Amino acid sequence: MIKRVFSCVLIITGLLFLNSCVSEYESNVRMDGPTLAIVGPDQKLYVGDGYYNSRIVVYNLAGKFLKSWGSKGYAKGQIQNPHGLAFDKEGRLLIADRDNGRIQLFDKEGNYLDEWHSEELGRPWSLVTDEDGFLYSIDGGDQDADNPRSGIVKLSPDGKVICRFSSFGNGPGELNWGHSIAVSEDGEEVFAVDLKNARVQKFISNNQNNDNYVVDLVWAESSFKPSKPPLGVAYKNGIVYVTLDGEGEPILLLNTNNGQLMKEIGEGIFERAHGIFVDEEYSIWITDVDANKIYRLNSAGDVLSIIDGQI
- Report the chain's mean pLDDT, rounded to a whole number: 92
The pLDDT value recorded for residue 4 is 55
Say if CB 243 and CB 259 are below 8 A apart: no
Question: How would you list the strands of the sheet with 65-69, edge to edge?
Answer: 34-39, 44-49, 55-60, 65-69
Q: What is the pLDDT of residues 166-192, one digit of tens each?
A: 999 999 999 999 999 999 999 999 999
The pLDDT value recorded for residue 12 is 45
Tell whether the model's pLDDT for residue 99 goes beyond 90: yes
Say if CB 274 and CB 35 are below 8 A apart: yes
Q: What is the pLDDT of residues 63-89, one digit of tens each?
A: 999 999 999 999 999 999 999 999 999
Tell whether the model's pLDDT for residue 3 goes beyond 80: no
First CA to last CA across the chain, in angstroms?
A: 47
Q: Which of 131, 243, 222, 236 lies closest to 179, judged by CA?
A: 243
Section 96-103 average pLDDT: 97
Section 304-309 average pLDDT: 96
Assign 79 to helix, strand or coil: strand
The pLDDT value recorded for residue 29 is 87
The pLDDT value recorded for residue 41 is 97
C-alpha angle 201-178-103 in degrees, rounded to nearest 5: 125
The pLDDT value recorded for residue 20 is 43
Q: Which of 107, 224, 227, 206 lies closest to 163, judged by CA?
A: 206
Section 42-69 average pLDDT: 97
Tell whether the model's pLDDT for residue 28 goes beyond 70: yes
d(CA 27, CA 7): 30
Section 125-145 average pLDDT: 95
d(CA 21, CA 107): 31
Say if CB 198 and CB 230 are below 8 A apart: yes
The pLDDT value recorded for residue 192 is 98
Q: Which of 183, 13, 5 lies closest to 84, judged by CA?
A: 183
Half-sphere exposure at residue 57, Cβ-oriented, CA atoms within 13 angstroms: 32
The pLDDT value recorded for residue 23 is 43
The residues that bridge with 97 in the sheet, in sequence order, are: 82, 102
Say if CB 297 and CB 303 are below 8 A apart: yes
CA dist 119 → 104, 130, 137, 149, 181 (Å): 16, 23, 13, 11, 19
Section 282-308 average pLDDT: 97
Q: What is the pLDDT of residues 220-272, one digit of tens each?
A: 999 999 999 999 999 999 999 999 999 999 999 999 999 999 999 999 999 99
Question: How would you list the strands of the sheet with 102-106, edge to edge?
Answer: 82-87, 93-97, 102-106, 112-116
**Percent helix, strand and coil across the chain, each rounded to 5?**
10, 45, 45
